A and B are shown apart, each in its own frame.
Chain A
């Protein structure tokens, strides 16, 4: 008897302890992730001729000037003078160049070095961290704008990050549904107009099952507009199928929730 009581108390205490441990964890806000897009942008800008933003250009030019000034005190290696001006140095060679630049200087051999530095090299001389910081900043400004106009909160974006869809995948899906959703314009914009639809999808993006999460509200008196809105949202989803879902990670997106909210749009 005493023994079983002892086991019971121990087990219950363990359970309470575990619950206490896990609860704060559940309550905690998801960790804020840094915007991924900025990284992608840097890669693109390195390989294309997209013009830099005015601020970025200013910094680039300042850096160039600095570099030129430094170059004027530096001497290139003798071998470099013989190279063709248009030849783009291989990455390894560039490293060697930089190392050499840091070595002894010879003012007489400045000109060939300046002539030799192509556009490609000039870009290499620029501090990419500074540009990345600028682009990040520009992205942040854009994100704030988006937040104001579309009411897409950080937490919503985080949600999809954490659970499977990348930003571009989510955008593709969103854009597809934007096109299919004919918003009923007679709705009152000063009321709660959120319609949540839970979908079960097949691998090809067609809908296996759709469910309006607050469907009981549709039949409540005075909620005629909600019924109209929910129906329009369902119509949009059905019209759009197969939905543009990623080719992989089916387990992550087979259950999907779409939150339709036209408030901002109706306010004009």
Chain B
């Protein structure tokens, strides 16, 4: 009995040490781009031409678009196709995982294209090569002319599956296309896919246009135009091409932007050297004054939940950024740093505000938390402004004017994008000079 009790006591005491499991905390990792293999999509041999499209080469082209999209994010490293260990016809088979791992790929995309009833059916699969399992498999059926969009949608799905956040590839950017010398600049509204393809002009260039902004539903655009030398805010339906003036203001209206639900337009109205912020409901045309101050209040931007508005004002002397409730109450200044702050834009995620800062003759694009803390300047140049968020809140697009043009004189304005980490700054391809970009939300949402 004594022995039994002694053993029992010992086992209880020893148990504490024996069961202890070694735990190691991993708090850091690498930010190297993820190596990914995008196999060309396999095309059914029977498929040849459809609506003037060479179906045979579509597999290659779609995989190229996906690759390009991934490379531009800076988060992925699409591997060279020469190193691929299997041919595209593996689309209906499980890949040889060990072989793909040999070329250091961590993920693999395979797929195939079929033509049925004059429609294009594109299937794809994403494979986790280290776990040797399928991560996602989807198929899309569409009219053949939509093949580029299918490539972007596939990119979005894969991006979301691998990073945990929505993609931003099936989107468009609206901007002001510029041409001609600075004193006779022709400015037209233009729209393009986020990768610079499919550029279309929405206005003829007879009037000066500025600050186009997308509606969250993407059908409408609001912008400022100097029609008959009267600067006013306009509304344009992209599908039908119809335009109308927003509100009946007895003066200049500018800096328009949609509310997150797309039902209101918020803008500035200037009269007698003073400008305040107003909203107008699109259905009822009801106008509401939000700020009432003797200073210049402009560049309003709603928070994604619609409860707050960020704007810039010179009420404290220098232009700074303020945040208030959407009814105009509880105005708080959030920037106190050296320099002038402007063009605040609330992130679609709601956690950050992007801005332009001017200090010591230089322009910075930066982000800060919504209470003004954690300011980070992402990029610096002689002249750059107007940041606009990608729909997932990861990338900013803005425009930059450089002193010298292509021939070494004059100036040039181009669109640039940068990741909110401050890395991966790149120039977007536009046919002409470009300014005032605005990024749409996901078209396929």
Chain B residues near A18: list those with CB within 8 A: 8-9, 12
- The answer to whether A229 touches B22 (Cβ under 8 A) is no
1/0 per residue, CB under 8 A from A, across B133-175: the answer is 0010000000000000000000000001111110000000000
Look across to chain A and name the residue whose beta carbon is closest to the beta carbon of B74: A185
- The answer to whether A238 touches B130 (Cβ under 8 A) is yes
Tell me which of A14, A156, A198, A228 contacts B162 (CB under 8 A).
Answer: A228
Q: Does B24 contact A (CB under 8 A)?
A: yes
Look across to chain B and name the residue whose beta carbon is closest to the beta carbon of A262: B29
State which residues 127-179 of A face B: CB under 8 Å. 150-152, 156, 159-160, 162-165, 170, 173-174, 177-179
Chain B residues near A180: list those with CB within 8 A: 29-30
Q: Does A69 contact B (CB under 8 A)?
A: no
Given known A229-B164, A239-B106, contact A174–B26 (CB-CB < 8 A): yes
Tell me which of B13, B31, B164 contacts A25 (CB under 8 A).
Answer: B13
Q: How far does the alpha carbon of A163 sit from the alpha carbon of B30 in the complex, in Å?
A: 28
- The answer to whether B106 touches A182 (Cβ under 8 A) is yes
- The answer to whether B29 touches A265 (Cβ under 8 A) is yes
1/0 per residue, CB under 8 A from A, across B163-198: the answer is 111000000000000000000000000000000000
1/0 per residue, CB under 8 A from A, across B103-115: the answer is 0001000000000
1/0 per residue, CB under 8 A from A, across B20-48: the answer is 11111111111110100000000000000
- The answer to whether A162 touches B29 (Cβ under 8 A) is no
Given known A18-B12, A228-B162, A257-B22, contact A182–B29 (CB-CB < 8 A): yes
- The answer to whether A225 touches B164 (Cβ under 8 A) is yes
Range class of the A interface residue count: 35 or more
- The answer to whether A252 touches B22 (Cβ under 8 A) is yes
Q: Does A264 contact B (CB under 8 A)?
A: yes
How many interface residues does B have (CB within 8 Å)? 39
From residue B379, how far is it (CB to closest CB) to chain A in Å?
16
- The answer to whether B163 touches A186 (Cβ under 8 A) is yes
Q: Does B5 contact A (CB under 8 A)?
A: yes
Q: How far does the alpha carbon of A234 sit from the alpha carbon of B135 in the complex, in Å?
A: 14
- The answer to whether A187 touches B23 (Cβ under 8 A) is no
Q: How far does the alpha carbon of A14 sit from the alpha carbon of B421 in the complex, in Å?
A: 63
- The answer to whether A178 touches B128 (Cβ under 8 A) is no
Chain B residues near A178: list those with CB within 8 A: 26, 28-30
Q: Does A101 contact B (CB under 8 A)?
A: no
Chain B residues near A253: list those with CB within 8 A: 22
Q: Does A26 contact B (CB under 8 A)?
A: yes
Q: How far does the alpha carbon of A62 sit from the alpha carbon of B291 in the complex, in Å?
A: 69
Tell me which of A152, A232, A255 contacts B25 (CB under 8 A).
Answer: A152
Chain A residues near B20: list those with CB within 8 A: 159, 162-163
Q: Does A42 contact B (CB under 8 A)?
A: no
- The answer to whether A177 touches B26 (Cβ under 8 A) is yes
Given known A185-B163, A262-B29, contact A174–B24 (CB-CB < 8 A): yes
- The answer to whether A228 touches B30 (Cβ under 8 A) is no
Q: How far does the alpha carbon of A21 sit from the alpha carbon of B28 in the complex, in Å?
A: 41
State which residues 14-40 of A face B: CB under 8 Å. 14, 18, 22, 25-26
From residue B19, how far is it (CB to closest CB) to chain A in Å?
10
Q: Does B392 contact A (CB under 8 A)?
A: yes
State which residues 200-232 of A face B: CB under 8 Å. 224-225, 227-229, 231-232
Q: Does B240 contact A (CB under 8 A)?
A: no
- The answer to whether B23 touches A183 (Cβ under 8 A) is no
- The answer to whether B30 touches A182 (Cβ under 8 A) is yes
From residue B330, how far is it (CB to closest CB) to chain A in Å?
23
Chain A residues near B164: list those with CB within 8 A: 184, 186-187, 224-225, 227-229
Q: How far does the alpha carbon of A190 sit from the alpha carbon of B350 in the complex, in Å?
A: 12
Given known A182-B34, A184-B162, A185-B75, contact A231–B27 (CB-CB < 8 A): no
- The answer to whether B13 touches A22 (Cβ under 8 A) is yes
Q: Does A256 contact B (CB under 8 A)?
A: yes
Q: How far does the alpha carbon of A18 sit from the alpha carbon of B10 in the complex, in Å?
A: 11
Q: How far does the alpha carbon of A238 sit from the alpha carbon of B31 in the complex, in Å?
A: 18
Look across to chain B and name the residue whose beta carbon is closest to the beta carbon of A26: B16
Chain A residues near B327: list those with CB within 8 A: none
From residue A196, how far is it (CB to closest CB) to chain B in Å?
8
Q: How far does the alpha carbon of A3 sit from the alpha carbon of B248 in the complex, in Å?
A: 101
Tell me which of B13, B26, B163 contacts A261 (CB under 8 A).
Answer: B26
Tell me which of B5, B21, B160, B394 contacts A163 (CB under 8 A).
Answer: B21
Q: How far does the alpha carbon of A165 sit from the alpha carbon of B344 in the complex, in Å?
A: 51
Closest 7 CB pairs of A and B: A186-B165, A181-B29, A228-B164, A225-B164, A183-B29, A186-B163, A163-B20
Task: Pick 7 A–B contacts, CB within 8 A, sort by A.
Answer: A174-B26, A184-B164, A187-B163, A190-B351, A233-B26, A259-B25, A260-B26
Residues of A within 8 A of B (CB): 14, 18, 22, 25-26, 150-152, 156, 159-160, 162-165, 170, 173-174, 177-188, 190, 198, 224-225, 227-229, 231-236, 238-239, 252-253, 255-265, 268
